[in-house]
């Protein structure tokens, strides 16, 4: 089951963790944080993008194999999450 977005083709059967996040900058460092945290700290951070993080490493291991799909708006991110949910539902 493949999810396609921009240049990415993500095999959802191999994804071990899938979650939304905000990509931010603070003090010259970049990080992915929860959407809620980014909203709470929006006055203290530089927001860069919304991301959908797809990890492929076993749960419990440090994620080294990851794809971060970027979106400009929260609505686009949530639309992608809905598309993935529909793909997963069809698989049943």
pLDDT tens string 23-50:
999 888 999 999 999 999 999 999 999 9
**Phi, psi at 78, each rounded to 5°:** -65, -35
Mean pLDDT of the residues in the chain: 93
By residue range, what is the domain housing residue 65?
2-91
Side-chain half-sphere CA neighbours of 41 within 13 A: 15
The separation between CA 3 and the C-alpha centre of its own chain, rounded to angstroms, equals: 13
The reported pLDDT for the residue numbered 47 is: 95
pLDDT band at residue 92 using 50, 70 and 90 as cut-offs = low
Total domains in the chain come to 1
């Amino acid at each position: 089951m493949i999810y396609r977005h921009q240049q990415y083709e993500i095999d959802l059967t191999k994804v071990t963790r899938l979650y939304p996040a905000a990509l931010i900058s603070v003090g010259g460092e970049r990080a992915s944080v929860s959407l809620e945290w980014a909203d709470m700290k929006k006055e203290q951070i530089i927001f860069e993008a919304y991301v959908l993080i797809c990890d492929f490493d076993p749960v419990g291991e440090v994620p080294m194999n990851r794809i971060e799909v970027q979106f400009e708006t929260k609505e686009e991110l949530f639309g992608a999450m809905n598309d993935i949910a529909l793909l997963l539902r069809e698989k049943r």
